[in-house]
Amino acid sequence: MGPPRTRTIEAGGFTTRYWECEPPGRPRGTVVLVHDGAFGGDAIGSWSDVMPLLAESHRVLAPDLLGYGDTDKVVYLDRPPYAFRAAHLAAFCAAVGVDTAHFVGQSFGGSLVLRALATPSPALPARSGTSICGTGGPWRSAKGISELGRFDGTEQDVRRLVALTVDEYPGFDEAVRLRYANTRKPGHVPACLAARLRHPTLPNTDGSGTWPAALRDCPVPTLVVEGTRDDLLEPGWSRHFEGLSPLVRTHRMDARHAPNLDQPEAVAALLLAFFEESTR
pLDDT at 218 over 80: yes
CA distance 247 to 136: 17
Average pLDDT over residues 68-85: 94
Which range, of 45-54, 93-102, 271-280, averages the lowest pLDDT?
Answer: 271-280
Alpha-carbon torsion (217, 133, 239, 81), positive or negative: negative
Between the alpha carbon of residue 98 and those of residues 173, 181, 246, the distances in Å are: 34, 30, 26
Report which of 92, 103, 89 is spatially closest to residue 60, judged by C-alpha positions. Answer: 103
Q: Which position has the higher pLDDT, 4 or 279?
A: 4
pLDDT of residue 206: 58
| Nearest residue to 216 via CA among 251, 252, 246 | 246
Q: What is the pLDDT of residues 145-199, one digit of tens each?
A: 999 999 999 999 999 999 999 999 999 999 999 999 999 999 999 999 998 887 7
pLDDT value of residue 207: 56
Q: What's 55's domain CATH number?
A: 3.40.50.1820
Over residues 77-90, mean pLDDT: 94
Rounded average pLDDT over 29-34 = 98
Residue that wins the pLDDT comparison between 248 and 199: 248
Domain that holds residue 264: 5-199+206-278
Where would I find the beta strands (DSSP E) of 74-159? 101-106, 126-132
pLDDT of 230 above 60: yes
Q: pLDDT (tens digit, 9 = 90+) per residue, 87-105?
A: 999 999 999 999 999 999 9
Q: How many angstroms separate the CA atoms of 140 and 133, rounded?
A: 10
Q: Among 42, 57, 54, 53, which residue's Cα sits nearest to residue 6?
A: 42
pTM above 0.85, yes or no: yes
CA distance 103 to 110: 9
β pairing state of 14-21 and 59-63 = antiparallel
- What is the structure's pLDDT at 153? 97
Tens digit of pLDDT for each residue in 103-146? 999 999 999 999 999 999 999 999 999 999 999 999 999 999 99
Residue 274 pLDDT > 80: yes
pLDDT greater than 70 at residue 204: no
Coil/strand/helix, residue 150: coil
Give me the residues paired with residue 101 across strands.
126
Position 2 pLDDT exceeds 70: no
Please give the share of the chain, as a percent, with pLDDT higher than 90.
90
pLDDT of residue 80: 87
Q: HEC string of 79-102?
A: CCCCHHHHHHHHHHHHHCCCCCEE
Number of folded domains that form the chain: 1
- Residue 197 has what pLDDT? 81
